[in-house]
Amino acid sequence: MLGVRPDTVGAGRTDAGVHALGQVMGVPGVADDADLAGLHMSLNRLCGPSIAVNSVIRVPEDWHARFSARSRTYVYAVLQAPVHDPWLAGSSLHHPDTLDVPAMNEACGHLVGEHDFSAFGRVAEALSPQRNLWELRWTQSGHLLRLRARASSFIGQMVRSLAGTLIRVGEGRGSPDDIPAVLASRDRGAAGPVAPPHGLCLVSVEYDDGWSRPFDPFR
């Protein structure tokens, strides 16, 4: 459509099996006279129905989909019900037993803030495991539990590791009071299991520019 093979830059990577409702992609070098409305329509014709492009807009040349992002928000969904729901099977983790949501939220309180999250994920040698987790909380609507996590950035598998650890607390196999020691250990083996990828969704990426409208249906 552009007449060239474009470079694309994503706001963030997701593990195989993870969903995205608010991924942002940047395409540098698009001609000034490009028909963005036509490009938007053509992309959806080509990519649908499994991928939907919500909008196509022009941004400043110095803007970067990844490095200009101020924060990213993920939601991990758990269906707490005796029987699975086929309609939600691909986008939520089925948990047949009742989880202790207050205990899980108490554990969240120990994780919010700036910490070394080595115990909760993987990080490349050149990068720091230090992250500032601005928001982490569980909400419940009927049988559906949602863990909302917001930070400037995350290390590999961090949200899934947080979810797995918090679910273990909800099952009574761990205590909220254990979390500070897990953080301090910086040992991946001290935390809970990595939750399956299909329950996780990148719901929004936020920018300071003012042009971006985070697409977050779970707020």
The two structure tokens encoding residue 1: 């459509």
Query: Tokens 């395409």 belong to which residue?
Result: 27
Write the DSSP symbol of residue 62.
T
Q: Find the catalytic residue in 15, 85, 97, 177.
A: 15
Alpha-carbon dihedral angle through residues 87, 23, 1, 16, given to the nearest 10 degrees? -60
Rounded Cα distance, 8 and 14, in Å: 15
Which helix (DSSP H) or strand (DSSP E) does residue 131 occupy? strand 130-141
15 is catalytic: yes
> Residue 58 carries which side chain, given as an amino acid letter?
R
What b/e sequence results for 117-142 when a residue is b if at least 16 CB atoms lie within 10 Å of its CB, and e otherwise? bbbbbebeeeeebebebeebebeeee
The sign one gets for the Cα dihedral 176, 92, 69, 118 is: positive
- Is residue 7 within 8 A of residue 27, CB to CB? The reply is yes
Catalytic residues, by residue number, are 15
